[in-house]
């Protein structure tokens, strides 16, 4: 397996795709949390001569990554994972039709083998992204698909 390198980002050989949504009050909060997000203007150009804003949000709000330590004790925390682990070659498997029939659809080995028969073998160490169409469930102002 080829080790991921951040050098490609800086020299233009690597394309980085941000899959996150912009943080706003329109995002879906974790069920049961009374307050998820707050943004407020602290100063305006008109009044103070400069603009500043502050915001507060829950740890598990919006697009984010959970580390292995999030649930079971004794596992790795996010700050201990090498940044290179978050970058690498990626393939996208479009399973929107399956997810439309079953919102809890789980990728099968047969489906991966079918993808590989059409597109070629997935290289070891690749990041496999499932396109399930769930972006359509977000508020319209957040849609990316």
43 in a structural domain: yes
Query: For 122-142, how does the pLDDT look when each residue is reduced to its tens digit (9 = 90+)?
Result: 999 898 999 999 888 776 555
49 in a structural domain: yes
120 in a structural domain: no
Interatomic CA distance for residues 15 and 36, integer angstroms: 32
Give the structural domain span for 49: 24-62
Interatomic CA distance for residues 81 and 86, integer angstroms: 9
36 in a structural domain: yes
H or E element: which one contains 118? helix 109-119
When divided into structural domains, the chain yields a total of 1
| Percent of all residues in the chain with a pLDDT value above 70, rounded to a whole number | 91
The pTM of the full predicted model, rounded to 2 decimals, is: 0.66
Token duo for residue 19: 């899959």
93 in a structural domain: no
Query: For 35-79, how does the pLDDT look when each residue is reduced to its tens digit (9 = 90+)?
Result: 889 999 999 999 999 999 999 998 888 888 888 888 777 888 888
Evaluate whether 73 touches 88 at the Cβ level (below 8 Å): no
Non-local CB neighbours of 38 within 8 Å, separated by 6+ positions: 25, 55, 56, 57
């Amino acid at each position: 397996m080829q080790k991921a390198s951040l050098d490609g980002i800086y020299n233009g050989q690597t394309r980085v795709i941000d899959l996150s949504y912009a943080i706003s009050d329109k995002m879906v909060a974790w069920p049961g949390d009374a307050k998820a997000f707050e943004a407020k203007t602290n100063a305006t150009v008109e009044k103070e001569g400069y603009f500043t804003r502050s915001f507060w949000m829950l740890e598990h709000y919006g697009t984010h990554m959970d580390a292995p330590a999030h649930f079971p004790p004794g596992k790795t925390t996010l700050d201990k994972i090498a940044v290179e682990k978050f970058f690498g070659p990626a393939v996208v498997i479009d399973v929107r039709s399956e997810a439309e029939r079953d919102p809890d659809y789980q990728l099968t080995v047969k489906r991966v083998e079918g993808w590989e028969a059409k597109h070629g073998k997935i290289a070891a160490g690749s990041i496999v992204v499932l396109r399930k169409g769930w972006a359509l469930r977000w508020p319209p102002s957040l849609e990316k698909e």
